[in-house]
């Protein structure tokens, strides 16, 4: 019984520590995992331009992968603002005909940018979208952004 309680306490401690690091936007581990390689020295701006081109694709799977890659880059390069991504991501988020997965990923990507423009787009979708799932996600992101 003591071993079980001790194991449970250790597991909770590890979980709380991980959540705290994520909540404080700690990127030390991510930066350590992704040491700059030859292709990464080009900078995130070049990657962003290429990803925004693929975001214009008609294929929802390609769009979803593009948005997810932008989210990954936001984690790898927290000092880079990704300002040119805001308008295309906002357009995907507001597009009623876009794939639902792409729209949700776009909402998450806009939230991770921590920008007033991205929050404004999320706020607009939260108040006007007929998609109740997307509306709930946007409202949750807005509540979370108030506490960060």
| Same-domain status, 75 and 133 | yes
The confidence score (pLDDT) of residue 37 equals 54
The confidence score (pLDDT) of residue 5 equals 56
Of 16, 84, 97, 7, the C-alpha closest to 52 is: 84
Q: Which of 29-43, 69-83, 100-114, 122-136 has the lowest mean pLDDT?
A: 29-43
CATH number at residue 62: 1.25.10
The confidence score (pLDDT) of residue 8 equals 55
pTM of the model: 0.70
For the chain, what is the domain count?
Answer: 2
| Same-domain status, 72 and 27 | no
The confidence score (pLDDT) of residue 80 equals 87
**Which ranges of the chain does DSSP label H, i.e. alpha helix?**
2-23, 28-33, 44-55, 60-76, 86-94, 100-112, 116-128, 132-147
| Same-domain status, 121 and 57 | yes
The confidence score (pLDDT) of residue 146 equals 82
Of 77, 71, 103, the C-alpha closest to 90 is: 103
């Amino acid at each position: 019984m003591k071993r079980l309680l001790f194991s449970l306490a250790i597991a909770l401690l590890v979980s709380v520590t991980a959540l705290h690091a994520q909540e404080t936007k700690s990127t030390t581990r991510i930066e350590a995992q992704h040491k700059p390689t030859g292709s990464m020295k080009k900078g995130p701006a070049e990657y962003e331009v290429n990803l925004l081109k693929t975001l214009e694709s008609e294929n929802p799977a390609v769009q979803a992968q593009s948005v997810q890659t932008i989210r990954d880059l936001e984690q790898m390069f927290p000092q880079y603002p990704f300002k040119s991504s805001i308008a295309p991501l906002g357009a995907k988020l507001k597009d009623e005909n876009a794939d639902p997965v792409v729209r949700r990923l776009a909402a998450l990507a806009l939230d991770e940018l921590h920008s007033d423009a991205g929050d404004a787009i999320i706020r607009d979708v939260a108040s006007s979208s007929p998609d109740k799932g997307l509306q709930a996600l946007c409202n949750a992101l807005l509540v979370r952004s108030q506490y960060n």
